[in-house]
Amino acid sequence: MNNQNKHVIIADNIRSAQNIGSIFRTCDALGYSKIYLCGISATPPNKEIAKSALGATESVLWEYSINSIDVVNQLKSNGYIICSVEQHDNSLALQDFVPNSNAKYAFVLGNEVDGVSKDIIDASEICLEIPQFGTKKSFNVSVAAGIVLWDVVSKSMQKS
């Protein structure tokens, strides 16, 4: 597999700059092509992002938008399938998600407290849910990013 894949990330109002840095680092490690930082999400250059990104802000493309839904609509018009990583009534368990190798996906990661915005969920073709068995029923957003993004890469590697 080459070091860049066609999938992108949308950070929908992620409040922690260290979480943003960690997502940058995960995207770099797994070859994701771009991160869209939206709303209150911090942007480089930022000392807190740099602490956890360890230079990944230099190797992963990024773009800022005040409004996540604008990015979603733009990506949809460019043929991306929008996948919100969120617990929802109609969510698909991550282990049941079979990525289409010809498709381009945009994975939406939401705010640490409120999750992915309702308008983004409504605009999504897929909601992916990571099965959980503890009492808290949530992962830190950067951990959830690592789980989902690795799962997609892993499944893609099995097909090739």
Domain boundaries, the chain: 5-159
Condensed to tens digits (0 to 9), the pLDDT of residues 89-120 reads: 999 999 999 999 999 999 999 999 999 999 99
Sheet holding 32-38, edge to edge: 61-65, 32-38, 5-12, 104-110, 80-85, 126-129, 92-93
What local confidence, expressed as pLDDT, does residue 34 receive?
97
CATH for the 5-159 domain, from 3.40.710.10, 2.60.40.740, 3.40.1280.10, 3.30.420.40: 3.40.1280.10
Condensed to tens digits (0 to 9), the pLDDT of residues 9-32 reads: 999 999 999 999 999 999 999 999
What local confidence, expressed as pLDDT, does residue 79 receive?
98
